[in-house]
Amino acid sequence: MKQIVTLLLILVLGTGLAAQDTENPFFRAFATPFGVPDFDQIRYEHYLPAFQAGMQQQKDEIAAIVSNPEVPTFENTILALERSGRLLDRVSNVFFVLNGSMATDEMQEINNTVTPLLAKHGNEISMNADLFKRVKAVYEQKDILPLQGEDLVLLKETYKGFVRNGADLQGEKKERVKKINEELSMLTLTFGQHLLKENATFMLIIDDEADLAGLPQSVIDVAAQDAKDRGQDGKWVFTLMRSSIEPFLTYSEKRDLREKIYKGYINKGDNNNELDNKKIAARIAALRVEKATIMGYDSHADFVLEENMAKTPANVYRLLDQIWKPAIARAKEEAGELQGMIKKDGGSFSLQPWDWWYYAEKLKKEKYALDNEMIKPYFELNNVIEGVFYVANRLYGLHFIERHDIPAYHKDVRVYEVEEADGTHVGVLYLDYFARQIKRGGAWMNSFNKQSNMDGRAVYPVITNNLNLANPGPGKPVFMTFDQVSTLFHEFGHGLHGLLSKCTYNSLSGTSVSRDFVELPSQIMEHWCGHPDVLKVYAKHYQTGEPIPQELIDKIEKAGHFNQGFVTSEYLAACYLDLAWHTLTEPVEHNALTFENKTMKKIGLIDEITVRYRTPYFAHIFSGGYASGYYAYIWSEVLDCDAFAAFTETSLFDQKTAAAFRRNILEKGGTEDPAALYRQFRGKEPDVKYLLQNRGLN
């Protein structure tokens, strides 16, 4: 297949496309329910011609805008630009969503080919002097044009997008930014591909049953299935996926094996081999500094945060520092308790990072008579899905109908039509919850189609939710930890943000909001998943169907603040590391490990805790969209804790409050200032006290 892809590229780029291939599904309307991608028909060889045709189509559309002899107007320039590139968007949405969850060798090779082409194409548009001249001409009349609401926001955001991409630059500066953008596109791609390969290649293979000591049977069964899938029949395999490594670190009595898999995880991208990411990360950071300087900013963080709620690095540091002090103090207390557990257990060694999960679980069981295995039977995947649907129904009246006639891209993916209470179609939701070797790690939401309603053409959202749960095999129950349940609710919240969008323009709809606002709709959902009234509805024993007993709910509530010093500190440390890399003011390629160690020492992270994401595998900031924005989760947590208080002050499913949250947050996309939207919902500024209470740090 690689040879076919390469040959096709030569043919496409060498001879051009004389006509669109009628056999290529991207060149015709998908003959599927609701126009979802026709996964049954799409083949690897369809992508490159569709990308090429899409780019050419948009070039022609841009040329038409630029050559228009009429005076630039909102209609013939801004709206014409918004309309452009529909074919390119179509193929891009399908390809890049699938490349996260189905990253085969063929998909990665196509990615390597199209990424520089797309970077160049984007540069040609964003730095087109004649196009920018027309956009600027319309923008300069914004105060006298009869524009309001979403139209005015679109004009401002379009103009700002050009300026922030370097359109206002001249000569060498403009050309240098082009080169930086193209180099960054390839570096960030390579960084992510290295991690995908690291995750796929590391295996802790156990062939002696004695080395499974302490592991629950459900964990052992999953490891056996994973071994079978990898051609290691009769053995047990543990990987670097969180759904594999965390239960091993939590329960394994074999300290040497805990150390081995832990170090395998924290050394991803840091093995001085062909997959090493240290120099790549340093180069990315240096290029970002250089670009920010050319654009007139002190640092990349200054450049990015100008567009976020935080506005400045100083404001982010102010929030982090406010939470860091009580968090690290609590973490030190927790480390002392765990060291006591080691001594009580007969150990004479000092607590190490690979010991933390194991002894924390023992301590939790001792203090609260609670461990994960006690509650897992009540958190079976199917019941949890019904639970999150229940919450969405009670809040917003939504119904989720599983559809087997809508094509899916993998046999494990479940597809749902989403309807309003009155039966009106809302959109389509794909649930892709299982880990596989060709899927990137973590959890995320994405869109095959974003909602829009431009020119009377209603586009309904087609949304995906992704987790990386261990698959125990056909017909076996899928048990979840409470953290995994929270993650499922979290990603579903992002899904609701995409599904319930009511915007005119694609570029402003759904999750097209600032990084420190986008986590509000996701994180607020986590509050319902653990609420006693909701647990009684969906947390049912997988065999008997009996609701979770009140005794267990009480234990979960009492243990709610357990280990929060660790959880908060390892996360905040990553926030500080992100900011350290992106508040640099000189384009110097630092030694990544020296820089990271210096940063951790500066904030006072204790040796027993490793920063949640070390530089060589910090994909959020070096291959994702969270550079200078990893703090967004804690910033949004201030909002979500304050927002949930609006419900607890009334009732858990208060319809007036839910309607206000839907109207002001979920439906608005990026059509208004997020701070203003929040005030419209809440009637006041958010208060950090609710976050501190929620984490037990007050």
**Residues designated catalytic:** 491
**Sign of the Cα pseudo-torsion (312, 314, 320, 322, in order):** negative
- Give the separation between CA 285 and CA 471, rounded to whole angstroms: 37
Cβ neighbours for 228, distance < 8 A, ≥ 6 positions apart: none
Q: Could you tell me which residues are beta bridge partners of residue 434?
A: 469
DSSP string, 66-128: HH--SPP-IIIIIIHHHHTTHHHHHHHHHHHHHHHH---HHHHHHHHHHHHHHHHHHHHHHT-
* DSSP letter assigned to residue 479: B
Cβ neighbours for 111, distance < 8 A, ≥ 6 positions apart: 95, 99, 189, 193
- Give the separation between CA 266 and CA 647, rounded to whole angstroms: 40
Q: Could you tell me which residues are beta bridge partners of residue 446?
A: 464
**Amino acid present at 554:** D
- Give the separation between CA 286 and CA 227, rounded to whole angstroms: 42
Distance of CA 576 to the CA centre of its chain: 19
Largest CA distance in the chain: 84
Q: Could you tell me which residues are beta bridge partners of residue 238?
A: 204
- Return phi, psi of residue 672, to 5°: -145, 165
Of the candidates 633, 373, 418, 656, the one whose C-alpha atom is nearest the C-alpha of residue 519 is 633
Both tokens of 423, joined, read 């039966």
Say how many C-beta atoms besides its own lie within 10 A of residue 347's C-beta.
Answer: 14
| H/E run at residue 218 | helix 217-229
User: Is residue 388 a contact partner of residue 529, using CB atoms and an 8 Å limit?
Assistant: yes
User: Is residue 620 a contact partner of residue 626, using CB atoms and an 8 Å limit?
Assistant: yes
- Return phi, psi of residue 328, to 5°: -70, -30
- Give the separation between CA 50 and CA 56, rounded to whole angstroms: 10
Total residues belonging to the chain: 698
**Amino acid present at 62:** I
- Give the separation between CA 385 and CA 95, rounded to whole angstroms: 27
